[in-house]
Structure formats: structure tokens, C-alpha cells
Amino acid sequence: MNQNSLKYFKPLFLILLIVFLISSCDEYFQPKPRGYFRIFLPEKKYHPIQMNLPYYFEIPEYSTLEHDPQPMAEDYWTNLVFPSFNAKLHLSYKAVNGNLNTLLEDTHKLVNKHIPKANAISERVFINEEKEVYGLAYSIKGVDAASPYQFYLTDSTHHFLRGALYFNVRPNNDSLAPVISFLETDIQKLIESFEWRNNDF
């Protein structure tokens, strides 16, 4: 084979080799869609809280109730902590003393702060006349909403409690949807079992 033949043979050989390699790959590559980690949801079992507070409710066994450690926290402010979900339900208590309208307005303002990030906010009314527990829960839908669930409870005369669920991660409520739904059930159980303690606090 002379020099001129070699000059044309090498590029032709490379082209044929590439075509052969491509045609021999019969598997079609397609990138996988983004997935999320599988979330383990424990069995639901509840027990009453043990802390001395002006209110009472039941909590799931996979949670713990602690006093709010923040320096600005007031008396009887607590956090219901869900360690396996990296979430907290912040509970802030206020005594009612002619300030109910102000407390309700503050609650509405805090919920409305989520409107720019929310797709929808639905409300659910809670009324238990026997226990004098009246309230409203807000389910906040939206990928970037910082708090997907908030509520308040009051007896209208002495007590007021506000709750807000937060996750200690960057908001992505699409991936958190199963956990949010799971914890909403626990919060509803909290509200259904809720009672005021009218001792001297």
C-alpha cells in the first residue's frame, strides 16, 4: 500500500469504526426524571402530653414536646418536634384579656405573609362547644411556602393558642407532600383532643 493510499485509508477507517460502535449500541439512553428519597411513615400511636401547661392535647409517639428555647419565647410557648421528619410545630400561647381581636388579626397577617409563595390557602373551622375550643386551620399550598399548615384555637375569653408547622429544610413542598399530609393528620388529632386547663397559670 503506497503513501497516498494510507493517507485516505486512515480517515475512512476511523469513520467506519465510529459507525460500527454507534450501531452496536442498541440501548436508547434517556435521562431519568428527578426522584426523591423514599420516606418512612411510622405507625400512628398517640399519648397525652406530660408538661404543666394551660392546655392539654395528645401527641404522636414519634414526636416530643419541648419548651421553646428561643430567648424571645413567652411562658407556655412550646415546640412539637418531629425528629425523623426534621419538622417542628411551633405553639405560641397568649392569655386573652380584651385583646382577642388583636390576636386574630396578627394570626391572619402571619398567614397572609405566605400568599406570594402560595398557590392556594384553604380554611377549616373547628368548633367544640363542650370543651370551649374554637379555631381555624389554614392549609397553605405552594412549592415554596415556608409553613404549609397553621392554625389557632381559643375559648374567646381566657386562652389563645397559635400553631405553625415548619420544616428545617429549604421549602420544596412537592417532595414533602407525603410528610405534610401525614403530619396534618397528627395536627388534626392534636386539635380534636385539645382542652383548656383552667388552673392558676
Helix extents (H) in 86-173: 100-112
Residue 114 lies in a domain: yes
Residue 13 lies in a domain: no
Q: What is the pLDDT of residues 8-61, one digit of tens each?
A: 556 666 666 666 656 655 555 555 555 445 577 899 999 999 999 999 999 999
Residue 86 lies in a domain: yes
Task: Give pLDDT, residue 49.
Answer: 96
CATH of the domain at 120: 3.40.1000
Range of the domain at 186: 54-196
The answer, as to whether pTM is greater than 0.85, is no
Q: What is the pLDDT of residues 109-133, one digit of tens each?
A: 999 887 777 788 899 999 999 999 9
The total domain count for the chain is 1
Residue 70 lies in a domain: yes
User: DSSP per residue over 22-72, as a string?
Assistant: HHH--PPP-PPPP-------PPP-EEE--S--SEE-EEETT-EEEE--STT
DSSP state of 117: G
Q: What is the pLDDT of residues 177-197, one digit of tens each?
A: 899 999 999 999 999 999 999
Count of C-beta atoms within a 10 Å radius of residue 118: 22
Residue 16 lies in a domain: no
Residue 18 lies in a domain: no
Residue 115 lies in a domain: yes
Q: What is the pLDDT of residues 68-104, one digit of tens each?
A: 999 999 999 999 999 999 999 999 999 999 999 999 9
Residue 110 lies in a domain: yes
How far is CA 112 from its chain centroid?
17
What length does the chain have? 201
